[in-house]
Amino acid sequence: MKINDISPKCLHFQEEFLKDNILVQVRYVMDKRNLKFNPSGESFTCSS
């Protein structure tokens, strides 16, 4: 999966996680696709 494949709604989280660790960002994407991880406490979909 490339960074461009993530939908615009996820870009904010993407950027924040990339600042910390690319592996964390990838883990976030995978978990979000499974609807298991939601750091903002808000409900939204992360599908492209």
Residue type, 15: E
Q: Residue 1: its pLDDT value, please?
A: 47
The answer as to whether 38 is a domain residue is no
The answer as to whether 14 is a domain residue is yes
Each of the 48 residues of the chain gets a pLDDT tens digit; together they read 455 555 665 666 666 656 666 666 566 666 666 655 555 555 445 544
Q: Residue 43: its pLDDT value, please?
A: 47
The answer as to whether 26 is a domain residue is yes
Answer for the pair 43, 36: CB distance below 8 angstroms, yes or no. no
In the chain, the number of structural domains is 1
The answer as to whether 13 is a domain residue is yes
**Residues contacting residue 17 through CB under 8 Å, at least 6 positions apart:** 24, 25, 28
